[in-house]
Amino acid sequence: MTTAAPTSSRDLPHPERTEIRLEAVLHALSDPMRLLVVRELAADGDELSCSHFDLPVTKSTTTHHFRVLREAGVIRQVYRGTAKMNGLRRDALDDLFPGLLDSVLAAAARQAVRLGGS
């Protein structure tokens, strides 16, 4: 259910819903880059390719961050051709930790306003 039929043959390891740990999720979200990615994913709906994000790090590092997010159970990644599409695992997170993701997103938005000014 959680893993739809992949458009490509390559498959990626995702943690089962019961394998997701709060500490891992919090740790994944505690990195500025990853928090930025999650905020953008939440804002733009889902299904965004890795290359859509213009992070101030190399592609190697970007790959690393996406893997951390996937292995923590925060995002779901599916290959579609050469692109790798990313989507928030809202269903699993909201089921396991109700309100957590929204609180973090709201907190991040508030802090962005508070610090960035814009």
Residues that bind a copy of itself (CB under 8 A): 18, 21-24, 26-27, 29-32, 35, 96-100, 102-104, 106-108, 110-111, 114
Q: What angle do CA 78, 83, 89 make, to 5 degrees?
A: 30
Asked if 68 touches DNA (CB under 7 A), the answer is yes
Which partner, a copy of itself, DNA, none, binds residue 43 by CB below 5 to 8 Å per kind? none
Which of a copy of itself, DNA, none interacts with 113 (beta carbon under 5 to 8 A by kind)? none
Among DNA, a copy of itself, none, partner that 63 touches (CB below 5 to 8 angstroms by kind):
DNA
**Could you tell me the strand order of the sheet in which 48-49 lies?**
48-49, 83-88, 75-80
SS3 of residue 23 by DSSP = helix
In whole angstroms, what separates CA 12 from the centre of its chain? 14
Residue 6 vs 98, nearer CB to a copy of itself: 98
- Cα–Cα distance, 29 to 33 (Å, whole number): 9
Q: Judge whether 94 and 17 are in contact, CB under 8 Å.
A: no
> Are 47 and 103 spatial neighbours (Cβ–Cβ below 8 Å)?
no
* Residue 36 interface partner, choices DNA, a copy of itself, none, CB cut-off 5-8 Å depending on type: none
Smallest gap from residue 111 Cβ to a copy of itself (A): 5
Binding site for DNA (CB under 7 A): 8-10, 27, 31, 33, 49-51, 56-68, 77, 79, 81-84
